[in-house]
């Protein structure tokens, strides 16, 4: 696990993009460093910037509940990270140059944790890891293989969208997490 800790140290001092100037803390990632399931969000919000940990606010509580109910895994058994590790001011979308600057950290996290399944939450993580500009509504509902790594990728909605949009999005998220569980259980 040394390599992941080294990567974290590097990230904590990162000034590769303008987000560094306004952060309270770098939100590198958290959880089991050899997890089978990795969850990837967009970027830290206010709560995460203060806590230094991803998905600790309302979205995180919903995510935790859904993963426990549909997959049977506790938060501590997963690895959780974001596309960008520093909070975009006022929770704006991360800019393309910010996503690009941070991409090597996420790619290295995936390589080092080497999960069996990555669940991408929302447009930013799904588009980045699938290398597409397609939206989440079209991308979700099936699984993909991450090139070279033998990792399954399951795109789903961001939990903030489920909090905003309600029952249909929530049902879609549940279905996607069931798909992730099947893949974790050995289906291909």
- Binding status of residue 31 toward ligand URA by CB under 6 A: no
Q: Counting beta carbons within 10 angstroms of the beta carbon of residue 1, is it exposed (0 to 12), middle (13 to 18) or buried (19 or more)?
A: exposed
- Would you say 60 or 115 has its CB closer to ligand URA? 60
The tokens describing 26, both together, are 């770098």
> Quick one: how many helices (H) and strands (E) in the chain?
8, 6
- Binding status of residue 42 toward ligand URA by CB under 6 A: yes
Look at residue 146 and give its three-state secondary structure: strand
Where in 61-90 is the site for ligand URA (CB under 6 A)? 82
- Binding status of residue 28 toward ligand URA by CB under 6 A: no
Choose the stretch contacting ligand URA; rule: CB under 6 A; options: 15-23, 51-59, 141-149, 177-185.
Answer: 51-59
Of the residues 31, 44, 88, 94, which one makes contact with ligand URA according to CB under 6 A: 44
Choose the stretch contacting ligand URA; rule: CB under 6 A; options: 43-51, 99-107, 135-143, 166-174.
Answer: 43-51
Q: How many CB atoms lie within 10 A of CB 188?
A: 7
Of the residues 29, 30, 31, 48, which one makes contact with ligand URA according to CB under 6 A: 48
Q: Using CA atoms, how far apart are residues 13 and 55, in angstroms rounded to an integer?
A: 21
- Binding status of residue 29 toward ligand URA by CB under 6 A: no
Give one word for 32, left, alpha or beta, with left for phi > 0 and alpha for psi -120 to 50: beta
- Binding status of residue 120 toward ligand URA by CB under 6 A: no
- Give the sheet arrangement for strand 144-146, strand by strand: 30-31, 79-82, 37-41, 117-121, 151-156, 144-146
Choose the stretch contacting ligand URA; rule: CB under 6 A; options: 35-43, 99-107, 136-144, 165-173.
Answer: 35-43
Interface residues with ligand URA (CB under 6 A) are 41-45, 48, 54-55, 57, 59-60, 82
């Amino acid at each position: 696990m040394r390599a992941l800790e080294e990567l974290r140290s590097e990230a904590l001092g990162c000034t590769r993009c303008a987000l560094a100037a306004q952060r309270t803390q770098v939100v590198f990632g958290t959880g089991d460093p050899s997890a089978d399931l990795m969850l990837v969000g967009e970027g830290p919000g206010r709560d995460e910037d203060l806590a230094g940990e991803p998905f600790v606010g309302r979205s995180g509580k919903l995510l935790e509940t859904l993963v426990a109910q549909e997959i049977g895994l506790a938060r501590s058994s997963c690895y959780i990270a974001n596309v960008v590790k520093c909070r975009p001011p006022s929770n704006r979308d991360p800019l393309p140059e910010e996503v690009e600057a941070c991409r090597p950290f996420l790619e290295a996290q995936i390589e080092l944790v080497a999960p069996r399944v990555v669940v991408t939450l929302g447009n930013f993580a799904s588009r980045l890891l699938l290398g597409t500009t397609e939206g989440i509504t079209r991308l979700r509902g099936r699984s993909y293989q991450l090139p070279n790594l033998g990792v399954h990728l399951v795109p789903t909605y961001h939990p903030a969208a489920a909090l905003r949009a309600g029952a249909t999005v929530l049902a879609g998220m549940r279905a996607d997490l069931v798909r992730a569980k099947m893949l974790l259980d050995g289906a291909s």
